[in-house]
Amino acid sequence: MAKLFSVASWNVEHFKDDPTRVKRVVEFLDAQKPDVFGLFEVEGSTIFDQLVGQMPSYTFQITEGPQTQEILVGVRKTLTAFITQKVEFRSGTTHMRPGQLVTIVKNKQNYGLLFLHLASGTDPRGMGLRDDMLQRALDFRETLDKAEGGEGKARYLFVGDLNTMGMKYPFDRSIEPSLELGKWDRYAARAKVSMRRLAKTHELTWFNGSKSSLKPSNLDHVFASSNLKFKTFKRPDGTDSSVAVRGWVQETTDAGKDAWIGRFSDHSLMYFEIHS
């Protein structure tokens, strides 16, 4: 298989106007050498200008609207691409982030990459918003199929911080995160959707540090159409995966994890490569 292009997805928690942190983040991101990347929780007004200055080989687009946390997308200038802000993924809630759809044209074929940052929260409202957004993201495959001229033809994936944290409810009616993910795995496998959640080198991608009462969580994911092929990365146990998780998960001690989180983010970065 030959590499077509690579993708990185990273929630850089509360990414604001701290020049030293921006420099660290850009250096770590640049070390992954992604052809396309999405950054989530971009809040600072000067982040865009700093990225443009420090990453001159990319073009950028950032979401716009009343929300305080934006999605910033970068695409290497050697690629042919166009970017569309998809407001339907707000689920009718104006403060939510719209999606960023990046369409890469490679070898006369279109590849749709939808970057999403979904609603957080373990309350019924938070889970309900996620539920609606995830269904929209999966059903979007059918829309792209029609544009490509037939069922199953669209090359499509969506990626990002999907915040799959389940729901807490009294009377023994809580929903575990694994059950929430299980629902979407089953829905993605439907014939009209024909997508699957990609295996990662590390399942847990979010951690608030060793002093926190919150446990590490499985929040960041990639769902891809069945007609896409990916590079294989080995998990620590030797099994295969399609997404490399890089960041605090690679540290072997609590002190190392805490230091990485303090320097960069509570989310590790996800990296993957699409192959022909």
- The model's pTM is 0.94
Does residue 275 belong to any structural domain of this protein?
Answer: no
CATH number at residue 29: 3.60.10.10
Residue 120 lies in a domain: yes
Residue 274 falls within a domain, yes or no?
no
Residue range 109-168, pLDDT digits in tens: 999 999 999 999 999 999 999 999 999 999 999 999 999 988 889 999 999 999 999 999
| Interval 175-195 mean pLDDT | 95
Overall average pLDDT of the 198-216 stretch: 97
Using one digit for the tens of pLDDT, what is the confidence trace for 39-62?
999 987 678 778 888 899 999 998
Domain span at residue 151 reads 3-269
| CA 236 – CA 159 distance, rounded (Å) | 23
Number of compact structural domains in the chain? 1
Angle at 217 between CA 216 and CA 223, to 5 degrees: 145
Half-sphere exposure of 98 (CA within 13 A, CB side): 17
